[in-house]
Amino acid sequence: MATRKAEINGKRPFRLKEYTFSCEDVPRLSCTDPEVDRLISNEQPVVITDTNLVSSALHWDLDYLGKNMGDGMFTVYSSHTNKFKYFDDKKGNNVKNFREPMRHLDMTFQDFAKRLCNKKPEDESLYMQQTLNDSVGRRIVVDFLGFNWNWITEQQKKHNWGQLTANLLLVGTEENITPSHYDEQQNFFAQIKGKKRFILFPPSQFGCLYPYPIYHPHDRQSQVDFDDPDFEKFPEFKKAAALEAVVGPGDVLYLPTYWWHQVECVQGTGLNISVTFWYKCGPTDKIEYPLKPQQKVAMMRNIEKMINQALNDPKEVPEFMQNMVLGRYT
């Protein structure tokens, strides 16, 4: 796989994998720049460099978290490859011979930290993905309360978003990759330690990314393997054009709802820690035409859900869908 040097803030160059599609940079702006508001209002991604959203957590490392995270059980995924492709347990039976691409483990933070420290290159990769809850120790609570809630709540109000639903803590090593998918919530993604590269595609490129069917355990994930795209099966992927952002400690990426994202820890940047701030979308008060691409994605999901429910058997869905469109709309 070809690689390319990337300058990050004019500092140390890193090697980033090159893909078959083009990548343009996401703007990096100060939170005082009025352009930030405009981009968020238009649901366009932006990296904001100086929000101080997680300044109170920039000292987090394995040792500190191990001492202060408490002895609650945390969700850790383990994978034979460096990819962590999310799957929905509840949909596992809908697909014959579905093989889970990673294993779900539960362990204390201290056990996780020990396993990471003793990890040999041939061992499985590990990725902690745990919603922050009140089982954590007092010092983590203090750090959490020190997040810049003023700034983020102001954004939530200004952009008319719904409630904060979760803060996901992600702790992984520098080879970990979350393959391309979209989420159904607004996200301020805060980087705490190490660097992450985001490869983003707008909701208008839904047709280029070939998501799995809605009943599939990999619902919302792309079927295309970016490392080896099958252009015969997925010809529209040739038209995909990405935006790219590399975030480091203190950076916050606004990741709009329904935007596709592949997230890669950057090699050579060590332990990787991030926290997400997921918010429900706001209500749409007035529908305006033409509909926005993200509204069309939402509509497609609803129609697909309805068909699945009405047929009451995932095995019947493919033929039904094909009869509905094949040879009729082309």
Ligand X SMILES: O=C(O)CCC(=O)C(=O)O
Given candidates 31, 46, 170, 317, which one binds ligand X under the rule CB under 6 A?
Answer: 170
CA distance 28 to 50: 10
Q: Least separation, in Å, of the C-beta of 89 and Fe ion?
A: 17
Residue 118, CA atoms < 13 Å, CB-side half-sphere:
6
Which amino acid is residue 311, in one-letter code? L
- Minimum distance of Fe ion from residue 200's CB (angstroms): 11
Going by C-alpha positions, the residue among 166, 226, 218 that lies closest to residue 201 is 226
Residues 177-196 that bind ligand X (CB under 6 A): 178, 183, 187, 189, 196
Residue in 51, 269, 276, 294 binding ligand X, rule: CB under 6 A: 276
Alpha carbons within 13 angstroms on the beta-carbon side of residue 119 total 19
Q: Cα(28)–Cα(249) distance, rounded to whole angstroms?
A: 14
263 binds ligand X (CB under 6 A): yes
Work out how close the CB of 206 gets to ligand X at its nearest, in angstroms, rounded to a whole number.
17
Name which of 79 and 308 has its Cβ closer to ligand X: 79
Query: Could you tell me how many residues of this chain bind ligand X (CB under 6 A)?
Result: 10
Alpha-carbon dihedral angle through residues 51, 54, 59, 65, given to the nearest 10 degrees: -170
Closer residue to ligand X in complex, CB, 129/205: 129
CA torsion 147→163→47→66, rounded to 10°? Answer: 40
Site string for Fe ion, 179-198 (x = CB under 5 A): ----x---------------
DSSP for 166-224? E-EEEEE-TT-EEEEE--SSEEEEEEEES-EEEEEE-GGGHHHH-BBPTTSTTBTBBS-
Cβ-closest residue to Fe ion? Answer: 183
CB of 97 to ligand X, least distance (A): 26
Alpha-carbon distance of 315 to 308, in angstroms, equals 10
Q: Does 259 bind ligand X (CB under 6 A)?
A: no
Region for 305 from its dihedrals, namely left if φ exceeds 0, alpha if ψ lies in -120 to 50, beta otherwise: alpha
CB of 259 to ligand X, least distance (A): 9
Residue 49 vs 165, nearer CB to ligand X: 165
Residue 181 CB, nearest approach to Fe ion (Å)? 6
Identify what 274 binds: ligand X, Fe ion, none; CB under 5 to 8 Å per kind.
ligand X
Enumerate binding residues for ligand X (CB under 6 A).
170, 178, 183, 187, 189, 196, 261, 263, 274, 276
Interface contacts to Fe ion, rule CB under 5 A: 183
